[in-house]
Amino acid sequence: MVEGLKGDAPAYKALLSKLSGHLRAYFRGRLVRMGRGVVEAEDLVQEALIGLHTRRHTYDPSQPFTPWAYAIARYKLLDHLRRTKVSFRGLPIEDAEELIAHDDLSEAESAFDLQNLLTRISPKMRQAIQYVKLDGLSVSEAAARSGMSESAIKVSVHRGMKALALLIAKGKPT
């Protein structure tokens, strides 16, 4: 950092790269524990790097570096959490009618999405899931209708659910 403050670009770059790794681990650790995403953590890494960069004149070389950098990272994390919380509070409480004023077919849409996903797994799994999970048949009924054994149905449902979960996870931006 001391070299960076003097204007040594390669040293400064090396410092920022090393710091970004620590920052990423710190933000991911904190955010994931709160059930938030990895994208948010990456945004925060860059946010904190800007903070460190633009406020680097507040670092006193006679003091240890880590507490200084940590204080900025912590500030950026708290600021981010506060801001994202405020955006929820921004919903006016008087708008109770709004809940019933509009109807939405998103349930149909998400079912449509599921149909979409089902086309992307093997026909055997698709059929098993369709019977057991969607149509609500018992395993033995599904076995009788599809001509597969009960254990084959169970295995297909299990594998199919796994495959679907994987597809959903992939569908999300990471």
Partner 1 sequence: MKTSRFIELLSADVQPVRRGTVGKTLVLALVIGAAAAFGLMLVTVGLRPDLFEGTGSMLLAIKLLFTMSLIGIGTLFVVAASHPGRNARRRLALTILPFLAIASLGLGAILLATPMNRHDMVFGQEWLTCLVCIPLLAIAPFAALIWALRKAAPTDLRRAGAGAGLVAAALGATAYAFHCPGDSLPFIAIWYGLPILLWTLLGAMLGPRLLRW
68 part of the interface to partner 1, by CB under 8 A: yes
- Of 83 and 102, CB closest to partner 1: 83
Question: Contact at 8 Å (CB) between 131 and 141?
Answer: yes
Q: Which of 26, 28, 31, 69 binds partner 1 (CB under 8 A)?
A: 69
Tell me how far apart the alpha carbons of residues 117 and 103 are, in angstroms, rounded to a whole number: 25
Tell me how far apart the alpha carbons of residues 21 and 38 are, in angstroms, rounded to a whole number: 14
Member of 29, 39, 55, 112 binding partner 1 (CB under 8 A): 55
- 48 forms part of the interface with partner 1 (CB under 8 A): no
- DSSP alpha helix (H) spans, 91-149: 97-101, 106-118, 123-129, 139-146
DSSP code at position 76 = H
Q: Would you say 30 or 133 has its CB closer to partner 1? A: 30
Choosing from 22, 30, 37, 51, the residue that interacts with partner 1 (CB under 8 A) is 51
Which member of 46, 106, 116, 122 binds partner 1 (CB under 8 A)?
Answer: 46
Q: Which is nearer to partner 1, 11 or 114 (CB)?
A: 11
Contact between 28 and 41 under an 8 Å Cβ cutoff? The reply is yes
The reply on whether position 35 binds partner 1 by CB under 8 A is no
7 or 92: CB nearest partner 1: 7
User: Does residue 109 touch partner 1 according to CB under 8 A?
Assistant: no
The 3-state DSSP class for residue 173 equals coil
Q: Which amino acid is at 149?
A: S
